[in-house]
């Protein structure tokens, strides 16, 4: 017959070789392990949602003023057109040529970001090929001459739709990763904005001029109208319209770092 070793020896003591159990008055399992009091468990269950509710209330109670259109496109400095803060880039550095008029541009990134960038460039080339946007063609020539690349990135400043920078001697235009989750045609006006900024005679070397940014906003607004997004305009289109309709757009742009080139 199989023998069975009891958890406790006679008299309620633990088997020999184990330390004696403490009797501190708290409820225990048969093995002697302590059990939480029911009131304590219930209190914890009530406190958890209360703590979550207080955290959410505190977050919503913070007084936030919405950013202006100018603040959503701040000047980046002598080697960056629009500041986007830090960025998370694809670890994949594969490159492929752009479509149509942008074949000399290299699209860098993983297959998903390349697909988005290619569709945006195709739409941009449609605007350029129409002949109605000569400034875009000028910007494209500058971009190509700078060994141009296009990539998708997650921006720290999420309200920024596009940015361009000089990196290792190349002109790199970046699009906000949000366009990967939208119709990629919606990124074309943001690309048009950057190409217009690339025509600034003082950049790189100095921040983009305020008159260049105003001209770029006007061009972006025209591109938005031509592409017929309907009432669901991309954020950048609405920002361009808001900026141009401001009481003093020049002062607004100077306040966010654009160069006074008037």
The secondary structure of 186-215, three-state, reads: HHHHHHHHHHHHCCCCCCCCCCCEHHHHHH
* 54 lies in some domain: yes
Residue 114 sits at the vertex; the CA angle it makes with 142 and 84, to the nearest 5 degrees, is: 60
Cis peptide before 93 (omega within 30 of 0): no
Task: Give the residue numbers spanning the domain of 144.
Answer: 87-255
Q: Quick one: DSSP state of residue 111?
A: H
Same domain, 105 and 55: no
pLDDT of residue 93: 83
Domain count, the chain: 2
Same domain, 47 and 173: no
* 7 lies in some domain: no
CA distances 208 to 149, 164, 211, Å, are 20, 11, 9
For residue 172, how far is the Cα from the chain centroid?
17
Q: What is the pLDDT of residues 216-226, one digit of tens each?
A: 999 999 999 99
pLDDT of residue 123: 97
Same domain, 136 and 185: yes
* Closest to 193 in 3D by CA, of 158, 234, 156, 157: 234
Same domain, 124 and 53: no
Same domain, 48 and 135: no
* 173 lies in some domain: yes
Same domain, 101 and 47: no
Same domain, 99 and 215: yes
* 107 lies in some domain: yes
* 33 lies in some domain: yes
Q: What is the pLDDT of residues 119-177, one digit of tens each?
A: 999 999 999 999 999 999 999 999 999 999 999 999 999 999 999 999 999 999 999 99
């Amino acid at each position: 017959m199989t023998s069975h070793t009891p958890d406790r020896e006679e008299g309620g003591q633990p088997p020999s070789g184990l330390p004696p159990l403490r009797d501190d008055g708290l409820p225990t399992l048969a093995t002697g392990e302590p059990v939480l009091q029911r009131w304590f468990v219930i209190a914890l269950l009530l406190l958890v949602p209360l703590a979550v509710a207080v955290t959410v209330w505190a977050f919503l109670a913070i007084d936030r003023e919405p950013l202006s259109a100018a603040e959503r496109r701040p000047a980046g400095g002598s080697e960056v057109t629009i500041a986007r803060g830090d960025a998370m880039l694809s670890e994949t550095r594969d490159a492929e040529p752009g479509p149509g008029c942008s074949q000399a541009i290299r699209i860098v990134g993983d297959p998903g970001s390349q697909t988005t960038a290619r569709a945006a460039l195709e739409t941009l080339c449609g605007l350029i090929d129409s002949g109605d946007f000569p400034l875009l063609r000028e910007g494209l020539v500058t971009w190509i001459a700078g060994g141009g690349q296009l990539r998708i990135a997650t921006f720290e400043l999420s309200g920024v739709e596009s940015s361009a920078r000089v990196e290792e001697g190349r002109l790199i235009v970046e699009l906000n990763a949000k366009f990967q989750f939208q119709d990629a045609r919606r990124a074309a006006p943001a690309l048009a904005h950057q190409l217009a900024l690339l025509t600034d005679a003082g950049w790189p070397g100095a921040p983009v001029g305020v008159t260049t940014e105003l001209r770029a906003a006007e061009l972006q607004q025209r591109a938005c109208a031509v592409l017929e997004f309907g009432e669901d305009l991309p954020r950048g289109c609405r920002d361009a319209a808001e900026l141009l309709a401001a009481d003093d757009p020049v002062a607004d742009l100077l306040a966010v770092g654009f160069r006074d080139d008037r």
